[in-house]
Amino acid sequence: MEKNVLILGASGDIGNAISRQLADDGYRLILHYHRNMKALEQLIVELESDEQILQIVRADLSKEMEAQRLCEQIAYPVDAIIYVSGTAHFGLFQDVSEREMDEMLTLHVKSPWLIIQYFLPSMIRKQRGKIIFITSIWGNIGASNEVIYSSVKGAQNSFVKALAKEVGPSGISVNAVSPGFIDTKMNRSIADEEREDIIAHIPLNRAGLTTDVAHTVHFLMDERSNYIHGEIVNITGGW
């Protein structure tokens, strides 16, 4: 069982749900956030007495130097990495600035490269480890007005499949969870008419819950799922 879990993006709705689930499962957590420390405060109050939160680190992972600094700040061995950090980008592709492109690439692609590369040698030495990405349905099928986001999520999916082949012989499991329309703060801001239209196209006729994603991560973290490798697990309600 991988005990010390680094969760990158723990302050978001999905990251928070994953943190709670893994704490319930008995894992010790190293939690990363960027701006929203308040979202972690309740989790800290609930879990601090159980000594399950080892460390909290702050970093803006859209900046390469901060990703490197985050790695150097972590004071504990890392047995598993869950990369939840990310942000959507809405708008026409023709209007995207080069700065926005660079920030999205760094946040979703280069920062996870750097962080995983930093901790991978110790996992290889131990011949065990878990790496899980939270990607997106758009990384598989693409979305109009979210071309940049779709591109970087597609890159994450490809990275998972390729890295799994490379590190599988070292006993390291690499997978991704790909959510569809999940009931998060960001999606609650969508106009009612648009939300209803999306849900009308989901066979289960509801938005997904953050716990749906967290339970899937729980499943992939379990040693009994070790033969699942290099997979993109869709959590979409059939959308």
Query: Which residue is it, tokens 């601090």?
Result: 48
33 is catalytic: no
Closest CA to 80 of 178, 225, 235: 225
DSSP string, 97-135: -HHHHHHHHIIIIIHHHHHHHHHHHHHHHHT-EEEEEE-
Residues for the chain: how many in total?
A: 239
The single residue of 33, 83, 149, 227 carrying the catalytic annotation is 149
Parallel/antiparallel/unpaired status of strands 172-179 and 129-134 = parallel
Collect all residues with Cβ–Cβ distance below 8 Å to 15 and sequence separation of at least 6. Answer: 7, 8, 9, 84, 85, 134
Q: Tell me the C-alpha to C-alpha distance, in Å, between residue 234 and each of 74, 138, 152, 161.
A: 31, 11, 17, 14
DSSP string, 135-177: --THHHH--TT-HHHHHHHHHHHHHHHHHHHHHGGGTEEEEEE
| Catalytic residue ranges | 149
